[in-house]
Structure 1
Amino acid sequence: MIMTKPRIAIAGASGFIGIYAIEELSKNFRIRALCRNLPTTNSLNSDVQWFSCDLFNLKEAEIAFQDCDYILYLIHSMTKGSRLTQSTFDDLDLIIADNVRRSALKNNIKHIIYLGGIIPEINYGISRHLKSRNEVEIVLTCSGIPLTCIRAGIIIGSGGSSFQIVYRLVKTLKIMTTPKWTKSLSQPVDVNDVIQFIKLCVGNKEVYNKVIDIHGTELISYNELIIKIATLMKLKRTLITLPFFNLGLSKLWLYIITGIDYYTISPLIDSLKYDLKANHSLYFNNYIPNPISLNDSLQRAIENEEKNEIKPRRKTFEENKVRTVQRLNLPMGWDSIRLGKEYINWLPKVFFTIIRSKVNNNIVRFTFLKINLLTFEFSDDRSSTDRQLFYIKGGLLVIKKDYPPARFEFRISPHEQSAIAAIHDYYPSLPWPIYRIFQASFHKMVMYLFNKHLIKIQNKKV
């Protein structure tokens, strides 16, 4: 009797860790590799299935996880997918994590593994980047499905953002003025050790509902790491630390020198000012007793980087598509149904009925001087008490009136007293510069005022 391998879905399969994970995990599992854009060449491995999926879309996520046993979660929203993304990366991370949570429950997933970041011992005032990674852990925990949170600092490997930043600095500059945060300590771990540990964790009940810090062989500062890479590359480099070199200047400087996308660099740099020491490492030490040495790890990464001649990615934007996400205060006792109704009733009042809302069965129209601006169609079958979904079906401000994924939603956060209001895959009809200056700014103001309105309601209850 031929035994069928279990299937693991890899969310973020086309990224740095994902590519390494596919190669190793396909030896023991069937792989469903999730990505937005399918690779141009198909995998020769029959156990690897590339699957196009937008994890901001709950319906697509539910389909993507069908017939899967496990999920490896590698998503971090540090790049902007739509031409205009009116949101912070932590709110984008929240939506994706919640979609994975909901979809995993619907598909009876047995185990989720999440690769996040090490949280500093003193977590007061930590960066939004690290807070977001911690929040993703909490949201996934709300599913009740066994979760293993693997936390890492710098992961060494060709193609990894953290390594590429340092590598390109060393390669480009003979004299470097470094900011104060480069004295912070970390324990860089080799990407192959990361993948081997993930492999040993999948479906392993011993690590269910555990938080595990993973690490390399050395505790080292970023300055020391720069010098070590320079030595291995046989380059002489001089470092001058400037205490007044703040984080903002660091981001701009690194963006100019390395060519790596600013939205990727920014949250990474915000996290580098902390010592990132591994503390909860019992299982990692037991499963990976002899981690790859830092010198061997760096040497391999340098050789691969030079061989592949990886160039900075060019900025790529999708067509004139919009995503906006705002986190809202949620009055106690409210669900998404009441929240949606409050928004529809509140909007005309705050704008003195200049903008009107008209509800007819499942259709909501927003009008200005009797001109239909937007038409929403309520989706009864895709809505619940913790999520209200409206498809954007028409109106003067919509250019693609029959584009199915265009939608507006309210959803309740599973882990805190808040809600998310989001527009996805919306194509505005206004010329792009005019849309950005006027309509996008107007929407941002509207959601700000609506949030203030919700805070007032909550304060009255208190």
Structure 2
Amino acid sequence: MNPIEIRERVAIAGATGAVGRALAAKLVGHYRLIGLSRREPAIASLFSPDIEEWRRCELFNQPEVHDGLCGATLAFYLAGDQPRSGARLTQGRPIDLELIRADNFARAAGAQGVRHIVALRCLARLDAEPECELAAEQALGGHGVAVTTVYCAPIVGEGTALTNTLLAMSRRRGLVVCAPWTAQTAQPVALSDVVVCLVSALEQQGADKERLVLVGPQRMSFRQMVERTAQLQGLNPRLLGLALGRRRTPIGPLEHGVREPQANFCSFEVALSDALATKLIMPAASRELSLHMAGSKNVRSVQRLPLPAGFDAEQVAHAYFRWLTLPAHIIHVVRDHEADEVWRMYVRPLPWPALVLARVVDHGEPGRARYAICGGLLVKRPGGFLEFLRVAGDQHVLAAIHDFVPSLWWPLYRVSQALVHVVVMRRFGRYLGRHGGG
């Protein structure tokens, strides 16, 4: 470690994950570590005792990200492959959800003076969807902060999704059915090697938009990984391969193209043996997360809209309100106060507003129009927001509802209002494409 950089503040987004915990253990004592998590600090602290300060930070909530990065000069972005959005119901493409997270993080980093971001991303997704991955990479680097992107093969180590799945399948009793997806091949890489490379990337702080690729020395199918995992535990499960069945993996993209492995990287067996030697048990944290997911009834919905020539995000938002008020629609929108920009949406012929929205100014940022959901018949609890966001380098606008809590009975909401919202946004997107919001 460079003595000059000792005690600099390093923020870690995704600090409660397997990579985040291992990274914190490597950096502790050399930097002041700030852990960012959507969980409450008291719960997040159970995941890693090495983090000095925990801050609650939902990456979809730009003000929280802005506050979470306050005081940090360096940052890790390890949340690029989070399978969950933190909502009970999520509507939208994974890439659009990730674009919002990445753009929020990059905007906040630029505003708070962060010098360097090291982002960990999925190599298999880069090979499968290169345009989407490059768009997310561009979003992270679109606000003036140097970015090093590390694309990584599936990670073998304590608590990783791959390791947990391998252990679960290898320990099953009786006949273990292997769906077609288990034939996918990869070059799994050790968690310890990934952490060393991440720390090296942080300290070198090389050229802007640098890209690294990490793969292990062995290429094997998932089924072969299960067999070797069983052998290391002295087990002998009976595996039955099927030609038909599920082809998508339960742990996200797995297969990637052949890459030249880095020198001196650990073998699969060594990495798995290290993972088996340590057991991380966090019953309180696991119980809290399960209760939170079971009790929450919030919604996150993201739709991609065309961006008319000469329009910004706020003009698209105003076009949306005008379009809703067209005579052919049953919704009527009233702008209540010019100064405060309060908008009330009515469903004809009801006299009470279905939604009340108030314009929010987020640190004077361009490319975003954000409206707090303050109340209305369709809202059970205020606190959510509607936003229109243009991501750096993208020629579209993302229309998103975050943390919306409906007043309707949840099963009824799922088959009514939730579906209607998606249909309405798609129709508005077609309207923008035809008429340019005029």
TM-score where L is the length of structure 2: 0.87
Query: Aligned letter for 2:423?
Result: M
Do 1:178 and 1:245's aligned partners in 2 also have CA atoms closer than 8 Å? no
Query: What count of residue pairs does the alignment treat as equivalent?
Result: 424
In 1, the alpha carbon distance for the partners of 2:430 and 2:391 equals 18
RMSD of aligned alpha carbons: 2.9
1:8: how far off? 0.7
Match of 2:117 among 112, 120, 138: 112
User: Which structure 2 residues correspond to residues 204-219 of structure 1 after superposition, within 5 A?
Assistant: 204-206=204-206, 208-219=208-219
Q: How does 1:44-443 map onto structure 2 within 5 Å?
A: 48-75=52-79, 76-119=81-124, 123=127, 126=128, 132-206=132-206, 208-247=208-247, 265=250, 268=252, 271-272=253-254, 274-279=255-260, 285=262, 289-305=263-279, 308=281, 314=290, 316-349=293-326, 352-360=328-336, 361=338, 362-368=341-347, 369=349, 370-380=351-361, 382=363, 384-400=365-381, 403=382, 405-443=383-421
CA contact (8 A) 2:12 2:33 kept: yes
Match of residue 19, structure 2, among 17, 20, 23? 17
Question: What amino acid does structure 2 have at the position aligned with 1:69?
Answer: T
Query: Whole-Å Cα distance in 2 between the matches of residues 309 and 421 of structure 1?
Result: 37
The structure-2 alpha-carbon separation of the partners of 1:309 and 1:39, relative to structure 1 and needing over 3 Å to count, comes to closer
DSSP 3-state at the match of 1:415? coil
Residues 33 and 380 of structure 1: is their aligned pair in 2 closer, same or farther, counting only changes over 3 Å?
A: closer
Whether 1:28 aligns to 2:9 is: no
Q: Closer, same or farther in 2 for the Cα pair 1:395/1:206, shift >3 Å?
A: closer
Q: Give the secondary structure class of the aligned counterpart of 2:403.
A: strand
Structure 2 contact 314–369 (Cα < 8 Å) conserved: yes
Distance in 1 (CA, whole Å) between partners of 2:329 and 2:181 is 53
The structure-2 alpha-carbon separation of the partners of 1:301 and 1:454, relative to structure 1 and needing over 3 Å to count, comes to same
Deviation at 1:197, TM superposition (A): 1.3
Distance change (3 Å), C-alpha of 1:314 and 1:366:
closer
Is the contact made by 1:337 and 1:385 (CA closer than 8 Å) also made in structure 2? Answer: no
Extract unaligned runs of 5+ from structure 2.
none
Deviations 1:131-156 (A, max 9, x none): 65443222112223211111111111
Residue 167 of structure 1 aligns to a residue whose secondary structure is helix
**CA shift in 2, pair 1:45/1:4, >3 Å:** farther
1:51–1:64 Cα contact (<8 Å) kept? yes
**Secondary structure of 1:172's aligned partner:** coil
Q: Cα distance 1:3–1:220, how it changes in 2: closer, same or farther (>3 A)?
A: closer
Q: State the 1:174 CA deviation.
A: 4.6
Whole-Å Cα distance in 2 between the matches of residues 334 and 196 of structure 1? 45
Conservation of the 8 A alpha-carbon contact between 1:77 and 1:92: no
Structure 1, unmatched stretches of 5+, are 252-264
Give how far 1:205 is off.
3.2
Q: CA deviation at 1:169?
A: 0.7
Residues 253-282 of structure 1 deviation map (CA, whole Å, 9 limit, x = unaligned): xxxxxxxxxxxx26x1xx23x344335x6x
CA 1:152–1:384 in structure 2 vs 1: closer, same or farther (change >3 Å)?
A: closer
Gap change, CA 1:222 and 1:429, over 3 Å in 2: closer
Is the Cα contact below 8 Å between 2:187 and 2:216 reproduced in 1? yes
Give the 3-state SS of the residue equivalent to 2:358 in structure 1.
strand
Q: Give the share of equivalent positions with the same residue, in percent.
A: 26
Flag the 1:314–1:375 CA change in 2: closer, same or farther, 3 A.
closer
Q: Deviations over 1:208-237 (max 9, x none)?
A: 422111122322222222221121111223
2:430 equivalent in structure 1: 452
